[in-house]
Each structure stands twice: as C-alpha cells, then as structure tokens.
Structure 1
Amino acid sequence: MAHLRRSGICFEALRIESRAEFEAALAQHWDVVLSDYNLPGFTGVEALQLLRARAPGEAPPVPFILVSGQIGEDTAVEAMRNGASDYLLKNNLARLAPAVEHAIATGEAHRARLAADRELQISRRRLSELAQHLQTSVEAERHAIAREIHDDVGGSLTALKFELDWIRRHADQPKVQQRAQAALETVTGAIEASQRIMQNLRPAILEQGLVAALQWMTSRFEKRTAIPCEFRTSHERAALPPGVPLVAYRTAQEALTNVSKHAQATRVVVDLSISGGVLSLEVSDDGRGLAADDLAKARSFGIRGLHERASTVGGWVDLSSGAAGTSLILSVPLDDVTTGSLPGHNGDGPGAPEDPVSRNWTSN
C-alpha cells in the first residue's frame, strides 16, 4: 500500500487473511485483488480459483495480481494460465503501480466488451424475431389476397365466362358470335392470369405434400424457361412439421427464380432428402455462378430473406458458387419426424401432381 501511495494512486483497501474472509469480501465490488501466495489456510492460487468460480467460462470479473517472494516461475506461469492478470516479486515492487493500473484498465475493457456482446446478442435476437414476424405477416397477407382473388375476382370472371358462352351459343348473328368468342378468350386469359397470381401468392399445391409441390414447380419451370430441370427425392412420402413445407417451397421458388434471371444455366437439379433427422433441399445449376460482389450488394435481399425464412423453422441456408455453377442447400432439423402419409401433416401422397388452382376454380 505504501508503494501505491508513493506512486500517486488514491485507493481504499481491505486486508484479509483467511478463506472465509476472502469469500465474504467477494460479495462486494472491487477494482483489483492483490494476493500473497502463502496465506493462512490456503494459497493465492486457490484464491484465484475462488474468484474464477464467480464467472465460470469467462476471465475473472476482478483483476487478480499475485505478489509473493517465494512463488516459483512454474507456479507463476500456471497462475497466469488460470486467469491471473500479473505476478510480482516482493523484492521488486517498482512495477506494482503500473501493473495495477494496467490490470484495472484491462478488466474494465473486458467488462465493457462483455456488455457490448450481450447488447449485440439481444439486438440480433430482436432483429431475427422481427424478420420472422415480417415473414409470417407476409405469408398471412399473401393468403388473404389469394383468397380474395379466388372468391371475388375468380368467381366473377367464371360467372362472366358462363354468360359470354351463353350469348355466343344463342346469338343469331355471326358478328355477335365472333365478338362473344373473342370476349371469352379474353376472360379465359384473365382467369389463367388470376390463377397464376394466386398460385404465386399461396401455393395451394402444398396441400398435396411437399414432394408433389416440388414436382409441379420444377415441371412448370422447365416448360416456362425451356431449361431442363430434374427433381430427385429419397422420400415419395414425408410427414413434416407445420411450416417446414412452406419454407422449403419458397426456398426452391426463390432459387429457381434466381436461376432463370441470372444464372444462364443449361441444367438445374432439385434434390430433396431426409436423413439423420434433417431435411435437405438442394437446388443446383451449371450456370455462371455468383461473384462475391453479387452477394455483397446492398439491396441483395433475396438470399438474406432465405436465411431469415429458414430460421423461422430452426433451419439454415448454405450457398456455394463457382465456375461449375451454384448450389443452394436448405437444411432443417426435424424433431421426431417419421416418414409416411399422415393426415393433417402435409403428407405426400402417390400419383402425379395436378395444378391445384385449376382444380379449385372448377368448384365455382
């Protein structure tokens, strides 16, 4: 204490000698602990262990400096490995004040870093929760819009089509028949466009299961883009937890959209498998690949959205790209999921997929 005062350091000190006194003192706040090595009933190393026990897995919350005249080099090195801030010999205390100041500054920086890390984790968790909420809200809004298109627009267009067809069949003049036929073709085009929009908003085909939905999607992709698209799966039927089929469907949809827009590919493969309790969906192409700049674009929200969407079901997305093409893999752990067709679990049934939109619209 005399050395510290001569160095101009103002401080308050509590001198203790026993283990019980030390444990009681740890209940208070201290800036630094100066410890002899040989103490009544225990050692400085044991005191360091008691201090570390207050913050398991982290550096000691309070800087700990050993000051001894008998400590050997091996013991000093072991103490440093166990978290001691420094060690000094009693016959050379010239370094005591700088060591104390340095230890206190390091401890404050460490505590500030821990606090910043906790704030960052909280911020990331809140951001993830917000992103998941937005994904859920978007899907709910899509569902509502698709229902309105089906019930209001679809019903009106279908009724109008019936009326125009009646007029065409009962018209006596050829010109009226021609105009009615042209109007029928226009209405039919509007119905098809509405069906396409509704399917993009709400993939009703998922009611037949994820396998059927992906078969239908890849088939439509190949017809629309003329790019050969192969779908492979190790499970013709799969019972999946709620939310997983929609996440997998949207991931494949986004990946195929990126392929058609940017990849310049000549072949695409969509592979769905369930192994080791993990669902894996891979969409790979032989296109030009993605450059690092493409992924770093400020407004590149597609891939980021896939990451956030996957996190809503506890999954993640891996993306690799090179000269041989691009591969996007969605992985989702499945908790106690068994294969097989189960009612109400989006089980995949046998048979070729059909367009669910056309099926729904014929009910009008």
Structure 2
Amino acid sequence: MSIAPVAERRLRLLHVEDSDLDHQLILAQLQRAGLEFECRRVDSLADIERALLEPWDAIISDYNLPGFSGLVVLDRLKQERRLVPFVLVSGEIGEDTAVAAMRTGASDYLLKNNLARLAPALLHAIESAEAQRAREEADRELLKSKQQLHELAGHLQTSVEMERAAIAREIHDDVGGSLTAIKFDLAWMARHSQDPVILQRVQSALETVSSAIEASQRIMHNLRPAILEQGLVAAVQWMAARFERRTGITTTVRTGSEPVQLPAGVPLVAYRTAQEALTNVSKHAGASRVDIELSVDGGVLTLEVKDNGQGLAPGALGKARSFGIRGLHERAATVGGWVDLSSGPRGTSLILSVPLRAVIAADEDDEPVFEPEHDPSAWGEA
C-alpha cells in the first residue's frame, strides 16, 4: 500500500512551547503553508513525558523553557531510540548551540523572527525521517532474509550429511556384505575345481570383486570418513597420503605440535573443506605440489591448502554460479568460521578459520551442517 506524500497528509505535531502567543504564530505559519495538521502544545517535563508515549510525525520545540531546554526533549528521544523529526525554534540561540543541537540529532533549527522556512524545513525533516525508517526496515528485512537463507542452507547441508551417512551404512551392510560373500564363494570354487578354464575365470572374478570391495570402501570413506574418529590430524594426513598416491601430486601436511580437542562439528567441516580443496586441485590446478597446514593458535583453528598450480581464471570467483565457493563459505559459517580464497600465477590458497570459543559457546543442540548439494569440484565454473 502506497503512502501519501507528506504535504498531502494530516500531520500530528507536538509543540514544546511555554508561550501561547508563539504557539499561535507557529500554527498560523503552518496553516499559511497549506498543511493539514493537528498540533498539541506542552510546556512541562511531565506533560512532555506523557506526550512522548504517543506517535508523532514531528516535534517542534522552543530552546528556552521554564527550568529546562529543548535539548532535554531531544536527549529523551535519543534515549528511547525514537526516530522522530525534531525542529528547534527559538528567539535566542547562538550559533554554537545550534550546531551542537544539530550534532545531537536535531533535524533543523530556526529563529522565531524568521518562520518563513518552517513549513519546508518541517516537511523535509519528516520525509528524511520516513526515508531513514524505510531504510532501517529494509535492512532488518534483508538481515532476516539472510539469516533465514543461512538457516535453510545449514538445514540442507545437515540433511545431505545425514543422507551420506545412511548411504555409507547401506554400502557397508548390503553391498559390502554381498561382495564379501561372493568373494568367499569364488574362493571356495577355486579350491574345489581342477579345470584350468574355470580357475582362470574364477581368478578373474575374484580380482573384479576385490576391486569392487576396494571401490565400495573408498566410496564409504568419502561419504562418511570414519578416520575422523582418530582425530582431525590423522584424518587430514590419511587424506593427503591417499591423494598423493592417487594423483602423483606431492602433498605435505604440517600440523601443530600438540593435538587439540576440537568442538563437535569442527573436524568434519575442516575435513570436508580440505577434501573439496584437493578435489579442485586434482581437476583444475595442474599443480605438482600441495601444502596443507593445520594449526590452532590463539583459540582459532586454521586450515590452509595451497598449491603451485595455474590459479583460477580472472573473474572466476565472481561468477554468479560459483556454487563451490558459496558452499565453502556456508559450510564454514555453520561453525562460526570463514573462508579466504586467493589465487595468482603461482597457485591458489584456501584458508579456513574457525574461532573455537565461538563454537563452544554456541547452542549444542544446533547440529553443525556440512555438505551442500552441488558438484564441489567447480569453484569458478559457470
């Protein structure tokens, strides 16, 4: 619903003034300007306190009042954090006082012997206040929307991680169990057959089943890394060793001198981040070396994965569909951390930072979330 322009609305004005004559002059000036309004005059602190409980479009205040000044009213508005336009009108006000009032939050100030500017100043103050309220409301809605999107992303990542665990269990219990049973049967056939052709086929089948068992174990580890039960350091070292064997890329791991007991959720976030970084290195970097550094210093866990590859293409980080980068940031945010990603001609560096105190202070009932539904191998791909 659109709001009528200020000049066309009936305004509610509060006039802080001890002189009825000056009050009438203000009313006449506003009427002469063609404004529609209702105006209440108050001249005591008690009346002002009661009046401030009501909504007002603007407040017009004298400076010199019996026992107090108009700035007392302005201070009261600031204490209550109320965004109400405040126009100071006085017959005696020095330039220093006027400047101080403006710095304190007054919308404008005028002299009583020059009220021709009152109506325009009042309308401008009201419009500015409404624009500021609209901006603040928009900021609140934007913050609320971002929070909701963050919570949704967290929920989706949690759901994906739980689904990964369920699939890993099914592979272990059903597929792994069946393949092992087949392997036993083939081994029995090999022991009880003398036919060379059959033995050759059995041996070939055994090799195929062994490869399938190994593949299922690799898939299970990728879906739900059981190695994390041995600690993050052991998990990262194991991952780096497997990565080096698989790709031939020299991979080194440097860790702190003493292992640290990490809060729940942090190890898996760090593990997934390193896993995704290595996947990108193998697919896109063309690197010959990867250095992984894991440390805890000053209560902050830091994981850095750095390669000596070709780096990302210019503008790749800003692409609208760089979902891999967004997934990294969302995953880190679930434990109060953040990701810094930089790239140049000498390679790419990814740094995950997680303040551990913030994780410990978080609600333990809020399960951390980890894996977004996207191909993690495309940081800068469209």
**TM > 0.5:** yes
- Amino acid paired to 2:193: A
- Say yes or no: does 1:43 pair with 2:69: yes
Q: Distance in 1 between matches of 2:257 and 2:179?
A: 39
Whether the aligned pair in 1 keeps the contact of 2:250 and 2:289 (CA below 8 Å) is yes
Q: In structure 2, what is the equivalent of residue 353 of structure 1?
A: none
Q: Is the 8 A contact 2:87 2:107 kept in 1?
A: yes
Task: Provide the C-alpha distance between the structure 1 equivalents of 2:132 and 2:314, rounded to a whole number of angstroms.
Answer: 34
Aligned to 2:23: none
- Once residues 290 and 197 of structure 1 are traced to their aligned partners in structure 2, the CA distance between those partners, rounded to angstroms, is 28
**1:257 aligned to 2:283?**
no
SS in 2 for 1:15: strand
Matching residue's letter, 1:113: R
Q: Distance in 1 between matches of 2:306 and 2:114?
A: 68
Report the Cα offset of residue 325 of structure 1: 2.2
Aligned AA (1:14): R
Contact map agreement 2:336 2:358 (CA 8 A) in 1: no
Q: Percent identity?
A: 69
Q: C-alpha separation between the residues in 1 aligned to 2:29 and 2:163?
A: 72
- The separation in 1 between residues aligned to 2:179 and 2:144, in whole angstroms, is 50
User: Where does the alignment leave 5 or more consecutive residues of structure 2 unmatched?
Assistant: 1-26, 361-382
The answer as to whether partners of 2:335 and 2:359 remain within 8 angstroms in 1 is: no
Whether contact under 8 Å (1:235, 1:274) holds in the other structure is no
Q: Identify which of 187, 208, 213 aligns with 1:165.
A: 187
* 1:303 and 2:329 matched: no
Q: Structure 1 CA distance, aligned partners of 2:285 and 2:74?
A: 59
Report runs of 4+ in structure 1 exceeding 4 Å deviation. none
Structure 2 counterpart of 1:134: 156
1:181 aligns with 2:203: yes
Deviations 1:178-223 (CA, angstroms, capped at 9, x unpaired): 0100111111111111111111111111111110100011111111
Report the residue type matching 2:138 in the other structure: A
- Write the letter of the residue equivalent to 1:46: V
Quick check: 319-328 or 61-70, which moved more? Answer: 319-328
Residue 6 (structure 1) aligned to one of 32, 38, 44: 32
Which residue type is aligned with residue 357 of structure 2? Answer: D
From 107, 112, 131, give the equivalent of 2:134.
112
Q: Deviations over 1:28-60 (max 9, x none)?
A: 0000011111011111112111111111xxxx5
Aligned equivalents of 1:264, 1:88: Cα separation in 2: 70
- The structure 2 residue matched to 1:53, chosen from 44, 66, 79, is 79
Per the alignment, residue 144 of structure 1 pairs with 166
Q: Residue 216 in 1 paired to residue 214 in 2?
A: no
Q: Which residue of 1 aligns with 2:57?
A: 31
Residues 336, 44 of structure 1: alpha-carbon distance in 2 compared, 3 angstrom cutoff: closer
- C-alpha distance after superposition, 1:320-361 (max 9, x if no partner): 2223322111111123999xxxxxxxxxxxxxxxxxxxxxxx
Answer yes or no: is the 8 Å Cα contact 2:110–2:118 preserved in 1.
Answer: yes
Amino acid at match of 2:296: I
Name whichever of 199-208 and 327-336 sits farther off. 327-336
- Deviation for aligned residue 1:262: 1.6
Counterpart contact for 2:301–2:353, Cα < 8 Å = yes
Q: Deviations over 1:92-150 (max 9, x none)?
A: 11111111111111111111111111111111111111111111111100000000000
CA distance in 2, matches of 1:22, 1:155: 81
Structure 1 gaps, min length 5: 339-364
Q: Does 1:203 align with 2:225?
A: yes
C-alpha RMSD over aligned residues: 1.5
**Aligned mates of 1:336, 1:111 — CA distance in 2:** 32
Instruction: Report what 2:15 is aligned to.
Output: none
Query: In structure 1, which of residues 329, 332, 342 is the aligned counterpart of residue 351 of structure 2?
Result: 329
Instruction: Between 148-157 and 69-78, report the one with greater CA deviation.
Output: 69-78
Provide closer, same or farther for how the CA distance between residues 186 and 236 of structure 1 changes in structure 2, counting only shifts above 3 A: farther
**SS of residue paired to 1:290:** coil
Which residue of structure 2 aligns with residue 233 of structure 1? 255
- What is the CA distance between 1:291 and its match in structure 2? 4.1
Q: Is the 8 A contact 1:19 1:41 kept in 2?
A: no
Distance 1:78 1:123, change over 3 A: same
Alpha-carbon distance in structure 2 between the residues aligned to 1:90 and 1:264: 77
Q: Cα–Cα, structure 1 residues 337 and 305, in superposed 2: closer, same or farther, change >3 Å? A: closer
Which of 1, 7, 21 lines up with 2:47 in the alignment?
21
Where 2:295 maps in the other structure, the secondary structure is: strand
| 2:21 aligned residue | none
Q: In 1, distance between residues paired with 2:282 and 2:90?
A: 73
Greater displacement, 171-180 / 290-299: 290-299
3-state SS, counterpart of residue 14 of structure 1? strand
Q: How many residues align?
A: 334
